[in-house]
Amino acid sequence: MSTSRALSYNFSKKIKNVLRSERALAYLFLLPTLIMIFAFVIIPAIWGLWVSFTPLSLVGKYAMKYDFIGLKNYIKLISDADFYNSIKISFIFTILSALIGQAFLGLMLALVMREKAIKGKSIVAITVFLAWIIPEVVAGYMWGVFASREGMMNTLLALLGMPPRNWLYDLPLETIIIANIWRGTAFSMILFMAALEGIPHYIYEAAEIDGASWWQRFRYIILPMMAYVILVDFILITIWTFNVFTMIFVMTGGGPGNATELWTIFVYRRAFQPPYEVGYASAAANLMFLIVFLIILSYIYVSKKLRWYG
């Protein structure tokens, strides 16, 4: 009787001790999160790796068949001109719309927003902001219509004397790049505005009194102080833009032909549209994820430096 009571007392004491021990508690708190992420992200990722070694398809002979075929999908992939095309499109899209378009426009806007004397700038900021916060499908729908032959883009350009054209057909890649600048500039703008606020005004004013020109102030004060923020912005928008799917899918579906087939759309089309080659699409997805992963690693490295700076 008493021994069992003592035992149970010891047992509950042990539990208490385990609970009190910080590491156990930390793991306990983290457990649900880890389970969720493991079950719905890690396992699917491994499953996807497995699928890429099978000829799995949605219909026909290989419907739902997990036969091991080794590296066949990957070998087919590296000789697939359409796959290279999608990588090329993705890179052009990312470099022009994110690195050049969004970051540059965002920086310009952030600089102008700093000027106290300029009126009406907050209305502009809110419009830029709106483009970023509306659901992506809506943005895709708006731009699909906006850039069509009958669309308003032609109405505006007619004021400049340009003849109407179907932008999504004649210049599809250029059009989705511009659409994505429209969509994503807000993030860079907000980030740069926050970073600029971090630069003490007195430095700025002192430079002005010293007679530094606008360019000199930008070149020697703003740019160096913002260098890391700009770098982080570059990496983040690169990753996001590289992963863009919905807006372009809604606008063009990857067409005409495969002129706007970003790698994400390439994967989606191979898997969920004829010929439904799920295994092959998985192989493409995995290869591309490797590229994204390398960029993410550089981000982790740089952002740590940034924290150390800050």
Please report, as a single letter, which amino acid is at residue 248. I
In the complex, minimum distance from the CB of residue 154 to another protein, in angstroms, rounded to a whole number: 9
Q: Which of 105, 109, 125 is nearest to 180 (CA)?
A: 105
Backbone angles phi, psi at 57, to 5 degrees: -140, 165
In the complex, minimum distance from the CB of residue 8 to another protein, in angstroms, rounded to a whole number: 13
Place of tokens 């912005």: 233
In the complex, minimum distance from the CB of residue 83 to another protein, in angstroms, rounded to a whole number: 13
In the complex, minimum distance from the CB of residue 3 to another protein, in angstroms, rounded to a whole number: 22
CA-to-CA dists, residue 229 to 32, 67, 106, 309, angstroms: 34, 48, 13, 11
Nearer Cβ to another protein (221/250): 250
What is the rounded distance in angstroms from the CA atom of residue 184 to the CA atom of residue 247? 11
3-state secondary structure 11-79: HHHHHHHHHHCHHHHHHHHHHHHHHHHHHHHHHHHHHHHHHCCCCCECCHHHECCCCCCCCHHHHHHCC
What is the rounded distance in angstroms from the CA atom of residue 87 to the CA atom of residue 261? 9
CB neighbourhood size of 262 (10 A): 28
User: Residue 15 has which token pair?
Assistant: 């539990």
In the complex, minimum distance from the CB of residue 56 to another protein, in angstroms, rounded to a whole number: 8
In the complex, minimum distance from the CB of residue 233 to another protein, in angstroms, rounded to a whole number: 7
Nearer Cβ to another protein (6/256): 256
Nearer Cβ to another protein (92/245): 245
Nearer Cβ to another protein (95/111): 111
Nearer Cβ to another protein (95/166): 166
Nearer Cβ to another protein (176/236): 236
